[in-house]
A and B are shown apart, each in its own frame.
Chain A
Amino acid sequence: MLQAIEIQKIIQANLNCNFIKVNGDDGTHFDAVIVSDVFNGQSMIKQHQRVYLALGNMMQSEIHALSIKTYTPDEWSQMNNI
């Protein structure tokens, strides 16, 4: 069964993340929160496309449902009141 941590590691290996957390324990449905400098100045579409790119063909095969939330470091620190 596919584990959330495996997805997290693959994204991490292919995308420079300031923060990442992938949740999901049924092997099918996952959700990811990703913070990266790479997202600065990018549209939401471009940010999500970057995550899909990091996952390669996993989106066409193993991963059936992945919900994605992307943040720039600034957005993330504002949201968390850092």
Chain B
Amino acid sequence: MATNAKIKKLIDDNEVLLFMKGNPTFPQCGFSSVACQALGSIDTSFETVDVLQDAEIREGIKIYSNWPTIPQLYIRGEFIGGADIIRELYESGELAKIISKE
């Protein structure tokens, strides 16, 4: 429960939040790297959580989102998806629209 509360607070406190392996400068996995590149190409600031630094969050976020993989993107509290969905939304231009509330 403590982990869930911690995750919820992170999601509530950050408008655009990416749970990933590593950080945007040094992503530790190809999928996290793709997600960072997509977000980096959009005119937005975003925060990241490195799940490799926190085993509780790494496992907890999978249960929280009902999603078995990392990265995971949250925008204004809503779960957007994993790497494949982030990439598809980016390529279709939808991701920028979701972020700018169009």
Contacts and interface: CB of A to CB of B under 8 A. Distances in A.
A48 B81 contact: yes
A68 B68 contact: no
Interface string A25-40: 0000000000000000
A67 B82 CA distance: 10
Interface residues of A, number: 12
B68 A67 contact: no
Interface of A: 44-45, 48-49, 52, 59-60, 65-69
B66 interface: yes
Nearest to A70: B84
Contacts, number: 29
Interface in B64-91: 66-69, 79-85, 88
Q: Is the interface of A mostly helix, strand, loop or mixed?
A: helix
A66 B67 CA distance: 13
Interface of B: 30-31, 66-69, 79-85, 88
A52 B68 contact: yes
Contacts of B31: 65, 67
Contact of B84 (A49, A59, A60, A69): A69
Contacts of A69: 84, 88
B67 A49 contact: yes
A69 B88 CA distance: 9
